[in-house]
Chains A and B, each alone.
Chain A
């Protein structure tokens, strides 16, 4: 099992002719947690969007391999069925679509794609109840519409809850810590930590280092103006926290 889960090679991408990612290279192996940090406008969200297959983003150069497959050729639902999961920075409210119904449909699509039998209502409920405990979610959660009327914290917890149920091979967490108070942050990161396995990988995108106090990354990358300008271990995040991004943006950084 030497094949990496994700290989991003010289990725150039943008919106409406404006190049935002200007050659990103990154490899993530099974069992690893990678964090990408960067100031606003550095291209973090674009990277997440391109990996998840959001419409409107144009890849002009380079490519992305997911478990050896060309990820960029796959429709968003195909990526999800293959094990890619994006925890949204701004989860969408979908009034009228019941949370249980939605999640069961999603899980069964993924299981079907992987040749596994679909879960019936009882099996699904048993699974879901177990996963709900990890995220400290109230029982009535399942009766509500997807994200409808949820607080910011509830929405983020719901993302991680979905991740727990869908068990992706590659989880991309886009600014999952934004808008969370410290308690919610702990719950979310505990959830993320519990989902870590030797055969999957997590890709944490964040502006602040505080999430990384709880979800310890193996590697930290700094994205700046569409390129990864520095990679290192956990300590790099702490350095950034201490010195701010100016330290890198202004080019004061000397090669280590």
Chain B
């Protein structure tokens, strides 16, 4: 006889079942190359095995994704542009940045809104579906080779279900002069509307590339974005990746950047998290060649009941590499910030120089931050430092500004802006930096809480 005590077991099983059912249907319908199926199947199997993470797992201790597991699963298979036009896009951040643009609406490539050129000869810029048809060998060699799914349920889920995304390939020695923008727009009006964007970016040896990847959506829907980006930076290449998460306030956003960086390369990955009710940014990079330098740089601004989580893994797999992580958070309301920075130094990686800082400003008494550095060092000649701070605005600095005639509110805004500016200033792409700067200013100015006295 069924009793109410079976509810627990039922809710544990329920999250996975619809995914399996949808996968079987999806598998039959998708018109993809044969080699892709084993990859997808492995993703599905892995997700079925792992299930949604729970706070009992160390990597998810501070971020409970139960609200995502409880959502009805409505993968967007047949999305259309749903009234999204270029005018609508012009309101989004980076609209004024010049250069090529790939737009995806509800996970589907919106060709009429996209501009694939001009790019230098040899550069391949396409949506993934088109690239699977035109460059199957190149994709087979790279797709899914960098994203770890063994212990990552969401990356596994993405691998099972991804529909489309961007493919960028820059041949050796080529510089792409203008930034390439990848714009993901959700328009879903139903809770659980889900997209799995999948991007593959390959920058050849001595190439130069700037990519701006951004996410937006409606403010009142509990939709879900589960993105994976694989980024390969060749030897001596110079790559800047800017990710901007400006999703709607009720949405859920999980994204993973899997980077593999080559010898003497210079890679910078920036993450700006302003939107979503719950966002989790996994940034997993492997320093796979000697003498490289990478910068991982991020800013999260949260308010209300938002949660923004950055989960980092920097693997020093070769000697003489430098990795610098800078993450600042500005938290208001009852919002929550999470930073987990793991640095793994392999035995071979002597002369590693790894630095990590996470600084947080709490603008309300109810905002909280969990910050956790984790150093695992298996080499003996390395320099690894980490530091985390959680606090209020510096009273001394406020007094200094006021003593020059600047009012309290303006002084506070200046300091908050400066704190955000530390991160924004590291973005080298000037038009992107200017937009980010303006965006943060707008956000601070429209926020009445900032005008409050302590």
Contact = CB atoms under 8 A, between A and B. Distances in A.
Interface in B387-435: 394-397, 399-408, 410-411, 414-415, 417-419, 421-422, 425
Contacts of A95: 418, 422
A106 B421 contact: no
Interface in B370-394: 394
A77 B422 contact: no
A162 B404 contact: yes
Given A92-B397, A95-B422, A96-B421, A76 B403 contact: yes
Given A75-B408, A80-B403, A81-B405, A92 B418 contact: no
Contact of B405 (A92, A94, A106): A106
A109 interface: yes
Contact of B402 (A75, A96, A145): A75
A110 B405 contact: yes
B404 A166 contact: yes
A54 B417 CA distance: 23
B400 A94 contact: yes
A97 B407 contact: no
Contacts of B396: 92
A15 interface: no
B322 to A, nearest CB: 21
Interface string A180-196: 00000000000000000
A107 B404 CA distance: 8
Interface in A59-96: 75-77, 79-81, 85-86, 88, 91-92, 94-96
17 contacts: A55-B395, A75-B408, A76-B399, A85-B403, A92-B397, A92-B400, A94-B414, A96-B418, A97-B401, A97-B417, A97-B418, A102-B406, A105-B410, A105-B414, A109-B406, A109-B407, A162-B404
Contacts of B405: 77, 80-81, 106-107, 109-110, 113, 166
Contacts of B410: 105, 109
Interface residues of A, number: 31
B390 to A, nearest CB: 18
Interface in A177-232: none
Contacts of B411: 77
A146 B418 CA distance: 11
Contact of A96 (B395, B404, B417): B417
A95 B411 CA distance: 13
A102 B399 CA distance: 13
B400 to A, nearest CB: 4
Contacts of A94: 397, 400-401, 414-415, 418
Contacts of B395: 55
A151 B430 CA distance: 30
A160 interface: no
A52 interface: yes
B396 to A, nearest CB: 5
Contact of A106 (B404, B415, B425): B404
Contacts of A52: 403
Interface residues of B, number: 24
A113 B405 CA distance: 9
Given A80-B402, A80-B406, A106-B405, 18 more contacts: A54-B399, A75-B408, A77-B402, A77-B404, A77-B411, A79-B403, A81-B405, A92-B396, A95-B418, A97-B417, A102-B414, A105-B410, A106-B406, A109-B406, A109-B407, A113-B405, A145-B418, A146-B400
Nearest to A108: B405
Nearest to A112: B405
Contacts of B407: 77, 109
A53 interface: yes
Interface in A82-135: 85-86, 88, 91-92, 94-97, 102-103, 105-107, 109-110, 113
A80 B404 contact: yes
A149 to B, nearest CB: 13
B397 to A, nearest CB: 5
B404 A88 contact: no
Contacts of B421: 96
Nearest to A92: B400
A52 B395 CA distance: 15
A92 B393 CA distance: 13
Contacts of B399: 54-55, 76, 92
Q: Quick one: which of B395, B399, B417 has the most chain A CB within 10 A?
A: B399
A174 B403 CA distance: 13
A217 to B, nearest CB: 23
B441 to A, nearest CB: 12
Contact of A77 (B397, B408, B417, B419): B408
Contacts of B419: 96
A91 B397 CA distance: 9
A43 B301 CA distance: 43
Contact of B404 (A55, A75, A102, A113): A102
A145 B419 CA distance: 12
Contacts of B425: 96
A85 B401 CA distance: 12
